[in-house]
Chains A and B, each alone.
Chain A
Amino acid sequence: MSVAQISAKGEVTIRDLSKSFRIDGDSLTVLKDINLDISGGESLAIVGASGSGKTTLLRVLAGLTEPDSGSVLIDGEPVHGLGKERAVIFQEPRLLPWLTVLGNVAFGLEVQGIPGDEAAERARHYIRLVGLAEFEGAWPRQLSGGMAQRVGIARALTVQPEILLLDEPLGALDAMTKMTMQEELVRIWTEESVTMVLVTHDLEEAIFLADRVLVLPKTKDTAIRLIDIDLPHPRDRSDPDFVRNRRQLMAEFGLH
């Protein structure tokens, strides 16, 4: 591990994390004794079949769901609930329809008590970063799905989190937009030096974006698997090494 990585902020440590839900009186274990270290500035993808608990794990990291037991530490400090050092990008853009693009992007800062002018200035920077400079005055209903999701991404970046938590952020987009947005995410991640934890059901997306891929098993007694994706960014989807990594990851799910 290089010195830069050790000093980087946004390090996540997960210890013995368990979570179960009660459904119709039955207890359903979703996460069992998860241990995981994510280094600062890393890009980690979480994949797994539906019901494997990947979204629950992300929500616990975000502080939106309380774990039953175990702990989450950020930069060595145990965290409970939500925190300013984390920001979530949801599957849906979740924009406030009564605010313009600028208002939506500045929203996160404003609820954190940053004065309007400063919030707007910082928001404009990230609106430019996601390529929506000409649309800062537009209403959400005027945006396409891909543009709306960019606004959601800019809103999360504007609070300058150490850790960006993405819950299938591109799942609802069409294939072409999705690929463009994946490239954007890589660019943003490189520019912002932020830790990125991405839940996805798209194995190619995981390999395109992540340094490591966490495979959550469906049966809770099986250990989690971590796969290193040792390719330089930006990645080429048709590169033989890329294809080899994809084949390896697909084999984890019994796919060919």
Chain B
Amino acid sequence: MTYDLTGAAQRVRPKWTISAKGISPVLGKAAADYGLIFAFFAGWQIASTVGWLNPAVFPPLDRVAQALWSGITSGALLDDIAISIQRAGIAFISAVGLGIPLGLVMGQIKPVERALDPILQLFRQTSALALYPVFILLLGLGETSKVFLIFWATIFPILLATIGGVKEVDAKLIEMARSFGASRATIFRRVILPASVPSIFVGLRLSATTALLLLIAAEMIGANKGIGFQVMNAQYNFQIPLMFAAIFLLAFLGLAANAVLVLLQRRLCRWSVASQ
């Protein structure tokens, strides 16, 4: 008896690829990936222009784009973008610069982790925003307290992800390296560090999101510059298109940060299936 394997393989091929045969494959893929978001914006534009949505609250997108463009060309928004990137950037880089090395040490040396874990858990569970008044009292109303607030919230995701990554390294791989006479330093460099890279990247992406989230909060509460401030300020002055322009800028910053990290991860983790 023979089995009709080719026939079975043809049957499991999904039908919709055949029906989409007429459209060019590139267009079909673009429609599948971005169709819904395009429809969302198109719906917004139409609903606002026709008047299904109150244009005072949801202005048509062309007015938002106009506000964004004039904000950028006049340079008014550029200052806000620069200061926001600076705040989030300094905090993120400091958090990463401290979080990764600390996580690598804590993940490897049990007594250090045991000693630091309770206090870290307490700090982590204390909302960073609740501590903002404390930071202001300590560091003043200037840049330092804002950057420190973002740094405070940003360090935990990267720190915990790094600790987790180091602790989850397969003990059998470490033993294999040991069996070839690898020193502790070599095992760290050649086994533990590369094995932790994927979870470190998970932490980096979480931290980047957190940094932007806290940036907005800090700028909304106590700033006179920055994209977060512009969102609030535009709303007070009823410049709704400008408000949306600032909101879209923030979304774009988040997307851009994530895209950079994903790109970096793909380059560093070509070996891993998850990064493909």
Interface of A toward B, CB cutoff 8 Å: 62-64, 82-84, 87-88, 90, 92, 94, 96-99, 107-108, 110-112, 139-141, 159
* Residue on B nearest A62 in the bound complex, by CB: B179
Chain A residues within 8 Å of B176, by CB:
88, 90, 94
Check B273 for interface membership: any CB of A closer than 8 A.
yes
For B174, the closest partner residue in chain A by CB is: A94
Q: List 10 A-B contacts (CB under 8 A).
A: A64-B178, A82-B179, A96-B173, A98-B194, A99-B271, A111-B181, A112-B181, A139-B270, A139-B271, A141-B271
A97-B177 contact, Cβ under 8 Å, with A92-B172, A111-B186: no
Annotate B179-208 by CB proximity to A: 1 below 8 A, 0 otherwise.
111110010001100110100000000000
Q: Is B237 an interface residue (CB 8 A)?
A: no
| Chain A residues whose CB sits within 8 angstroms of the CB of B177 once the complex forms | 107, 111
Q: How far is the CA of A88 from the CA of B177 in the complex (A)?
A: 10
Q: A88-B179, A112-B181 are in contact. List 18 more A-B contacts (CB 8 A).
A: A64-B178, A83-B181, A84-B181, A87-B180, A92-B172, A94-B170, A94-B176, A97-B271, A97-B272, A98-B197, A98-B269, A98-B271, A98-B272, A107-B180, A107-B190, A111-B177, A111-B181, A111-B182
What's the dominant secondary structure at chain A's contact region?
A: loop
Enumerate chain B residues within 8 angstroms of A87, measured Cβ to Cβ.
179-180
Q: B residues within 8 A CB of A110? A: 190
| Closest A residue, CB atoms, query B197 | A98
Tell me if B175 is interfacial: C-beta within 8 Å of chain A: yes
Decide yes or no: A96 and B181 within 8 Å by CB, A64-B175, A90-B176 being known contacts.
no
- If A82-B178, A82-B179, A112-B180 touch, whether A94 touches B271 (CB-CB below 8 Å) is no
Complex interface: chain B residues within 8 A of A112 (CB): 180-181
- The chain A residue sitting closest to B190, CB to CB, is A111
Which 6 pairs from chain A and chain B are nearest by CB?
A: A111-B182, A108-B180, A94-B176, A98-B271, A88-B179, A98-B194
Contacts of B190 in A (CB 8 A): 96, 107, 110-111
B 251-269 to A, binary, CB cutoff 8 A, 1 in contact else 0: 0000000000000000001
Chain A residues with CB under 8 Å of B186's CB are: 111
Q: How far is the CB of B171 from chain A (nearest CB, A)?
A: 10
A159–B179 CA distance with the chains assembled, in angstroms = 11
Complex CA gap A159/B181 in Å reads: 11
Q: How far is the CB of A115 from chain B (nearest CB, A)?
A: 15
Instruction: Find the A residue at minimum CB distance from B182.
Output: A111
Q: How far is it, in angstroms, between the C-alpha of A81 and the C-alpha of B28 when the chains are bound?
A: 62
Q: Which of B172, B181, B183 contacts A94 (CB 8 A)?
A: B172
Most buried by A among B173, B180, B195, B271: B180
Chain B nearest Cβ from A57, distance in angstroms: 16
Tell me the nearest residue of chain A to B179, going by C-beta: A88
B194 partner, pick from A62, A96, A140, A141, beta carbons under 8 A: A96
Which residue of chain B has its CB nearest to the CB of A158? B180
Q: Do A96 and B191 contact each other (CB < 8 Å), given the known contacts A139-B271, A141-B271?
A: yes
Cα-based distance from A98 to B170 in the complex (angstroms): 13
Nearest CB of chain B from residue A250's CB, rounded to whole Å: 32
Interchain nearest-CB distance for B202 vs A (Å): 16
A94:B173 contact, CB within 8 angstroms: yes
User: What residues of chain A lie closer than 8 Å to B173, measured between beta carbons?
Assistant: 94, 96
A63–B170 Cα gap in the complex (Å)?
20
Residue on A nearest B177 in the bound complex, by CB: A111
Listed residue (A92, A97, A107, A112) with the most chain B CB atoms within 10 angstroms of its CB? A97
B179 touches A64 (CB 8 A): yes
Contact B172–A90 (Cβ < 8 Å)? yes
A107 to B179, CA, bound (A): 11
User: Complex Cα distance A62/B181, Å?
Assistant: 11
Distance between A16 CB and nearest chain B CB, rounded to angstroms: 25
In whole angstroms, how far apart are the Cα atoms of A112 and B179 in the complex? 11
How far is A63 from B176 in the complex, measured between Cα atoms in Å? 12
Q: How far is the CA of A140 from the CA of B271 in the complex (A)?
A: 8
- In the complex, what distance in Å separates the CA atom of A94 from the CA atom of B180? 13
Near A by CB (< 8 A), chain B positions 134-190 give 170, 172-173, 175-183, 186, 190
Which residues of the other chain, A, contact B179 by a CB distance below 8 angstroms?
Answer: 62-64, 82, 87-88
